[in-house]
Structure formats: structure tokens, C-alpha cells
Amino acid sequence: MANAKTPLEIYALLQKTNCGQCQEPSCMAFAVAVIQGRKKAGECLFLDAAQAAQISGGIEQRKPAASDQQEVIDQLRHQLATIDFAAAAPRLGAALMEGKLAIPCLGKDFLVDPQGRLLSQCHVNHWVLAPLLHYIVSCQGREAEGHWVAFAELQGTLDWQRFFAHRCEEALRQLVDAHAELVIEILMLLGAKTATGSVAADHAVVLYPLPRVPLLVCYWRPEEHFESRLQLLFDRSATANAAPEGLYLLTRGIIEMIRQLIVRHSRDGKLF
């Protein structure tokens, strides 16, 4: 085959069963992983050796780019057209409203139509669209296990771990250091609840950025000789219900929203 430049070119050759035996949540996710070099075509059990060799020999690999979102959105919209919204709503924890999926996200309902267009009564943050489309395509409807793990412990997150640690956890830690009460208040406005159980952090809240993807935010204040700490934990089932890229983008989107709200509501209109 000619050099494959997009996951769609590989996806077209797959069985499209979303069986998960390649350890990716969907065939589209597998195609993306093959283009990025994280997976080999031969890891798909439905491809024979000749097909796998043909795909592998024609791949024009590229590194994943966190900012290259329009191509990803176009690919997800293409796959969205094959999904029965009425059948998908229960596994997503969503409702069907006039042919659109109503998905609770950060305390608001976002409507997604079959063309992948996003509607909301509040401002549509551009960080939300791709994660919602990832969620519709990838979510298996698995119930939360109640076992919290770091992003790096989730399957398939290797390409995004460095971005997540710096742009999500470290960025949010700095914001909480400077505006602890305001950030916690904002998280509560986004639907967070105080965490219960044996969480020993100074602040611990559980947020549901997606119906089946809880996020635990833990913050420890600075003490003598020790800097503050912040950790973002996901339920161990997270990557069964959302693609790693979607988890990263949505978490970063939450932090960008918090930044904007701090500037708007802090006394001097400054972050730091």
C-alpha cells in the first residue's frame, strides 16, 4: 500500500469489531497507535501476516501531537456515523434527546448530534469536544471499580504521561497553591464532591468529567521542608471507558477552565 498518513487508512482495513484483544479500546484507537508507532499491525488478531506486513511496510510514522486536534476530531466524527445513539446511551450513562446524546460533563449536559457537533447551554470549551467524541466511540460502559490509580498506571498512557504530569498535575498544583479556596469552590461548581473514605490529603474531591470516568483530586499543603503536592487519580476502569488521549485532553481542559475563572473572579484578576 502507499504510505499511510492517517489512522483512517489503516482503520479501513480492520474488522471494526472493537474486540479489545490488541489492548486498545477500539479499532480506531488501534489504528492511531499503529500510525504513532505504539502498536504493530500484527497485534491485530484479525489481520493475516500478509495484510500486517502490507500495512507495516507502508506506514509513514509520526509522533503524536497534542495540538493536532482537528484531524483527530474528523476521524472521530467519521466513526461516530456508525454508532446507534439509542443503543449507545445506556453504556455511556447518557440520555437520548431528539436524536442527540445528552452527556453529563462537568455539571452540565452537553448534546452531541450524529454529525459530531456539540451543543450546550453554557460556553462550549474547545477542549471538551474531542474528549466527548472519544468517549462516545471508546466507552465500554464498565462500572467504576473503586480502585484509584495514577494516570501513568493506566493502560496505553505512555505517550501522554509527560504531558499529563507537567500540564495537568503540576499546573493545577500551582493554581491551588495560589488560590486554594477559589479552586476548590470552582471544582464544586463543576460538580465535584468531597471524597469519602481513607483519603488522607488536605483537600480531596471527586469530579465526574464524564459519566463513567471519575477523577480524584488530592492536594497536600506545603509544610516545613516539604513542598505542596497534588495528584490526579483515575478509577482503574478509566481506559475501558475513555481513550488515554481523551483523558489527557479533558483534564487539561478542566485546568484551562479553572485558569479562566480565576482570572475572572480573583480580586486582582491575576493567576499569581
Domains and CATH numbers, the chain: 7-58 (1.10.15.40), 69-138 (no CATH), 148-265 (3.30.310)
DSSP annotation of 10 reads H
Residues 6 or more apart in contact with residue 117 via CB below 8 angstroms: none
Helix (H, G, I), strand (E, B) or coil at 148: strand
CA atoms within 13 A on the CB side of 117: 4
Read off the pLDDT of residues 56-90 as tens digits, 9 standing for 90 and up: 766 654 444 444 567 788 888 999 989 999 999 99
- Residue pair 191/107 in contact (Cβ under 8 Å)? The answer is yes
Residue 257 gets the label, from left (phi > 0), alpha (psi -120 to 50) or beta, of: alpha
Q: Give the tens place of pLDDT for each residue, 170-219.
A: 999 999 999 999 999 999 999 999 998 777 899 999 999 999 999 999 99
pLDDT number for residue 166: 92
Beta bridge partners, 149, equal 234
Residue type, 114: P
User: In the β-sheet with 148-150, what is the strand arrangement from edge to edge?
Assistant: 148-150, 229-235, 213-220, 203-210, 193-194
What value does the mean pLDDT take over residues 9-24? Answer: 80
What letter represents residue 105's amino acid?
C
Spell out the residues 6+ positions from residue 138 whose beta carbon is closer than 8 angstroms to its own. Answer: 25, 26, 29, 241, 242, 243, 246
- The pLDDT score that the predictor gives to residue 246 is 87
